């Protein structure tokens, strides 16, 4: 396997992969769960992020040739290992199908009212399929070009809102004790744990010794941006934030300077489309990679388009309407995703270590 990307590129990809959907959706859900203390939820969830990066790196070191797929097969036997791999792939398909559908719903709700949602999803998936067929290097370089632009645009939205903010809204702190903050943090942790997918691209990273460092920087960076987003949204619209489906979008619509610098919400759309492009491409890539390794394909490129078709169909199988997506993301989805991306790796790690101890 060739070493192709730098650890900085890895950092950028993971950074955007997690932020893309979270910034837009998270403030609403956390306000609903944590009330006035919603802004501090990312701080606690970052711990889950750090732990996930650590586990991912440890598993990578244990794995033969650094492949997570091979690790499962070698630790649990071929049949069980392959079964677990297939299950994990289906899990990823499920998660990304929800994210893709949510992307489509956002665009249709706010911008393309009359365009059918499948057109938006199909065009995105075709683009992603193209990138995935180009390989991880293409994806990483695309990220190097676009991710800084996305981040700067996002920050600009928050900077423009500064004059409208009222810092006193965040008081009183811990109004209903610490329990609501914990509830909100669990939901945010559901985003952080997705960083586990980094394990699939670790074999491609050139400088192995800096992986952990950049991994932790990545979690910190994500946490900071989430914190900025949360604080800005809450100081702008306080508890009413939970009643908007996309509070950051509403906040961007609120920007107005000198009666002509208005209507900048198109920036949010650009950020969202580009961000989701990286998220979907990344998942697409990991699904493609793990599936081709599990099935031990000679010519893996042939499965790219079938995977795309599977993703497309899953987006419509999984949810009938916005109600189902919203309910899944804010309720059952959190525990589901934490089980897959946080508890599952921890268990695998524990079992592998115990098995090695017993052998020795």
Partner 1 sequence: MKRRMIRAMLCGLLCWSVPLLTSCWDRVEVNDIAIIVGAGIDQMDGKQVKLSAEIYIPVESTGEGQESGMKAGNGNGKTFVSSAAGSSMAEAMYKLQERLSRKLYWGHNDIFVIGQARAEHGIEDDLDFILRYVRMRERANIYISEGSAVDVLGIIPRLEPNSMEALSELSKTEISITVDLKEIIERIVETPDETYAIPYINRGKLLTDVSHVRNPNVPYFRGMSLFKKGKMNGNLNSDLTWGYFWITNQIKGNTIISLKMPEEQTLAVLLTHSKTTLIPSITPDGKWKMKIKVRGEGNLLQNTSSLDFMNPAQHKAMIKKTNEEVEMSIRQALKVLQKKYKTDVLDFGDRFRKLAPKQWQKEKKNWSTMFSEIETELDVEINIQRPGILNQNIKKMNRVNN
Of 256 and 309, CB closest to partner 1: 256
Asked if residues 242 and 223 have their Cβ atoms less than 8 Å apart, the reply is no
In the complex, minimum distance from the CB of residue 172 to partner 1, in angstroms, rounded to a whole number = 4
Q: How far apart are the first and last CA of the chain?
A: 29
In the complex, minimum distance from the CB of residue 254 to partner 1, in angstroms, rounded to a whole number = 5
Q: Residue 74, SS3?
A: helix
In the complex, minimum distance from the CB of residue 253 to partner 1, in angstroms, rounded to a whole number = 6
Task: Name the DSSP letter for residue 245.
Answer: S
What's the angle, vertex CA 211, arms to CA 127 and CA 2, rounded to 5? 60
Of 177 and 359, CB closest to partner 1: 177
In the complex, minimum distance from the CB of residue 238 to partner 1, in angstroms, rounded to a whole number = 5
1, 113, 145, 258: which one binds partner 1 (CB under 8 A): 113
In the complex, minimum distance from the CB of residue 242 to partner 1, in angstroms, rounded to a whole number = 8
Burial pattern 164-195, b for ≥16 Cβ within 10 A else e, equals eeeeeebeeeeeeeeebbebbbbbbbbbbbbb
CA 164 distance to own-chain centroid:
29
Name the token pair of 237.
Answer: 């619209």
**By CB under 8 A, which span of 11-19, 115-123, 146-154, 288-296 interacts with partner 1?**
115-123
Which parts of 217-256 interact with partner 1 (CB under 8 A)?
A: 236-240, 243, 250, 253-254, 256
Of 161 and 197, CB closest to partner 1: 161
Q: Which of 29, 46, 33 is nearest to 195 (CA)?
A: 46
In the complex, minimum distance from the CB of residue 153 to partner 1, in angstroms, rounded to a whole number = 20
Residues in binding contact with partner 1, number by CB under 8 A: 26
Which parts of 160-219 interact with partner 1 (CB under 8 A)?
A: 168, 171-172, 175
Of 216 and 254, CB closest to partner 1: 254
d(CA 253, CA 267) in angstroms, rounded, equals 10
Residue corresponding to tokens 């460092």: 213
Of 107 and 225, CB closest to partner 1: 107
111, 182, 316, 336: which one binds partner 1 (CB under 8 A): 111
d(CA 25, CA 327) in angstroms, rounded, equals 12
Residues of the shown chain interacting with partner 1 in the complex, contacts defined by CB under 8 A: 109-116, 119, 123, 168, 171-172, 175, 236-240, 243, 250, 253-254, 256, 262-263
């Amino acid at each position: 396997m060739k070493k192709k990307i730098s650890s900085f590129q890895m950092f950028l990809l993971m950074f955007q992969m997690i932020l893309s959907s979270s910034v837009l959706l998270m403030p609403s859900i956390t306000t609903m769960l944590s009330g006035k203390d919603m802004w501090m939820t990312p701080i606690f969830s970052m711990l889950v992020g750090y732990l996930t990066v650590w586990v991912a790196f440890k598993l990578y070191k244990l794995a033969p040739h650094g492949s997570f797929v091979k690790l499962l097969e070698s630790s649990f036997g071929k049949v069980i290992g392959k079964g677990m791999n297939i299950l994990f792939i289906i899990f990823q398909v499920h998660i990304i199908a929800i994210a893709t559908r949510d992307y489509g719903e956002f665009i249709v709700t706010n911008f393309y009212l009359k365009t059918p949602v499948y057109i938006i999803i199909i065009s995105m998936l075709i683009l992603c399929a193209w990138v995935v067929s180009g390989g991880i290097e293409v994806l990483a370089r695309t990220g190097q070009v676009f991710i800084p632009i996305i981040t700067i645009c996002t920050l600009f939205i928050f900077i423009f809102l500064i004059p409208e903010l009222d810092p006193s809204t965040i008081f009183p702190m811990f109004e209903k004790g610490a329990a609501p903050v914990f509830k909100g943090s669990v939901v945010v942790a559901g985003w952080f744990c997705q960083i586990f997918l980094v394990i699939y691209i670790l074999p491609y990273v050139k400088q192995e010794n800096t992986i952990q460092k950049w991994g932790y920087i990545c979690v910190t960076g994500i946490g900071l941006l989430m914190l900025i987003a949360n604080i800005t949204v809450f100081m702008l619209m306080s508890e009413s934030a939970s009643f908007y489906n996309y509070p950051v979008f509403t906040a961007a619509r609120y920007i107005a300077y000198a009666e002509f610098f208005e209507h900048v919400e198109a920036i949010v759309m650009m950020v969202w489309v580009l961000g989701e492009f990286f998220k979907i491409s990344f998942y697409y890539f990991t699904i493609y990679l793990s599936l081709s390794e599990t099935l031990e394909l000679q010519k893996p490129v042939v499965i790219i388009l079938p995977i795309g078709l599977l993703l497309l169909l899953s987006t419509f199988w999984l949810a009938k309407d916005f109600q189902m997506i919203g309910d899944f993301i804010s309720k059952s989805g959190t525990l589901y995703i934490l089980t897959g991306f946080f508890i599952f790796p921890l268990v695998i790690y524990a079992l592998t270590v115990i098995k090695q101890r017993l052998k020795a």
